Amino acid sequence: MSGTYIRYLKEMGPAWIISAVACGPATLASVSIAGATYGYRLLWVVLLSAVFGTTAQYLAARLGILEGQGIIAATEQHMGKTWAWILTIDGLLATWLAAMVLMNALVGVTGLITGIESPFWGVGYGLVVGLFLVWKGYRKFETLCKVLVLFVVLCFIVTLFMAELSPPDIGKGLVPHFSGGIDAALMMAAIMGGAVHITIIGMHTYTTNARGWKTDDLALARFDTVSSMGFAFGLYSVAIFLVAAAVLHPHGITIRKASDAALALQPLLGDKAMHIFMAGLWGATLSTLSPTFMAGAYFLADKMGWERNVGDKGFALAVFAGCLVSMFGPFLKGSFFLLLPLMLALGLTGTPLIIALILYLLNRPDSAQRNSFFLNCMGGLTLLVTSFLAVRFLLTRLVLF
């Protein structure tokens, strides 16, 4: 048994790519704003996001492994071109919206760090990241970015032990409670959207294919997904949420910009908190932007029948299409730190479709290995809760709820 887990530790990886994207600036913004604004009351949403994120990603991994192809191709093969086009458009809209908001955030953080604020930073970033992706030169730079992110997360975890947590309030936060108002509906949808998002769900069907996993690797895929989304992402989001709830909420600090969120690290880092937080936020944004471009290219290339690698001209053009779209992001108005949760909430509205399609494809009578009753129950709950939060968010925006 120990030998099996040692092998799993050596061979895991695809879900960690997805987890790295999920542990990005949008989730950081969402859980920190939620903690600072509502205290511990939304802790149950944060925990459920890790549970349902794990469920959705494992379902995606199963589909990629059992079908031997990505979600778009599988949908077209079994359900026809119309559903494949609907899913492609849904995926591209959510993914390119994410790219625009992430570029807006990257430019905003760059302006705060350098003191030079200009939306045209986005043009340079878009071209550089696109060229690096096509030339396969991004990996080392992305590793540096993730080291910065890891350091910031560790700071939050250490701060968590220094903070004066309230066990009774934490207990109350574990009980589902729907706070009223537009802002609460937005934050619930954003928190869930950080883990259960059409972009990363769809992308995971391609990452398992890229690794070449087969049916015999389903147990490995489960271990890979639980350890990355369930444990790593769960720890990331819960730690940041609890620090914001314990440090910022008692003092009535409302987060409206990135510098407000950095105050949560002052108990540990003092005057250096702002600089370290900004460096980590910059790294998180840049390292998340790259796979977002790739996800959009996967969706488009799969529908058009192109090879899913940067050596294919069509795929390379799809990558640059995402880069081009993202360049319009810095011209969006408003605080980039507040736009990040809005992006996740909007992305969640497009997510129930892909979950429903995956559940259908994995339960076809001719499926290679149909879902277990337990997995269908978890998948059904994921679909139900994400649909409810997405619809609730949309209705509050229309002032109908």
Domain 11-397 CATH superfamily:
Amino acid/polyamine transporter I (1.20.1740.10)
Q: Could you state, in order of their start, the residue ranges of all structural domains in the chain?
A: 11-397
Instruction: Give how far Cα 38 sits from Cα of 27, 41, 66, 173, Å.
Output: 16, 6, 42, 10
Distance, CA of 368 to CA of 129 (rounded, Å): 39
SS3 sequence of the chain:
CHHHHHHHHHHCCHHHHHHHHHCCHHHHHHHHHHHHHHCCCCHHHHHHHHHHHHHHHHHHHHHHHHHCCCHHHHHHHHHCHHHHHHHHHHHHHHHHHHHHHHHHHHHHHHHHHHCCCCCCHHHHHHHHHHHHHHCCCCHHHHHHHHHHHHHHHHHHHHHHHHCCCCHHHHHHHCCCCCCCCHHHHHHHHHHHHHHCCHHHHHHHHHHHHHHCCCHHHHHHHHHHHHHHHHHHHHHHHHHHHHHHHHHHHHHCCCCCCHHHHHHHHHHHHHHHHHHHHHHHHHHHHHHHHHHHHHHHHHHHHHHHCCCCCCCCHHHHHHHHHHHHHHCCHHHCCCCHHHHHHHHHHHHHHCHHHHHHHHHHHHCCCCCCCCCCHHHHHHHHHHHHHHHHHHHHHHHHHCCCC
pTM exceeds 0.85 for this model: yes
What value does the mean pLDDT of the chain take?
90
Q: Would you state the pLDDT for residue 180? A: 60
Question: What band does 19 get if pLDDT is binned at 50, 70 and 90?
Answer: confident
pLDDT at 212 over 50: yes
Give residue 23's Cα distance to chain centre. Answer: 6
pLDDT at 363 over 60: yes
Question: What band does 138 get if pLDDT is binned at 50, 70 and 90?
Answer: very low
- Taking only the tens place, the pLDDT of each residue in 269-297 is 888 889 889 988 998 898 888 889 999 99
Radius of gyration in angstroms for the set of CA atoms belonging to the chain, rounded to a whole number: 20
Percent above pLDDT 90 for the chain: 66
Bigger pLDDT: 398 vs 328 = 328
Q: 359 near 75, Cβ under 8 Å?
A: no
- Taking only the tens place, the pLDDT of each residue in 56-95 is 999 999 999 999 999 999 999 999 999 999 999 999 999 9
pLDDT at 1 over 60: no
Q: Would you state the pLDDT for residue 181? A: 58
Cβ atoms within 10 Å of 120's Cβ, excluding its own: 11
Among residues 349, 53, 27, 1, which one has the least CA distance to residue 200? 53
Cβ atoms within 10 Å of 398's Cβ, excluding its own: 7
- Phi and psi at residue 70, in whole multiples of 5°? -80, 170
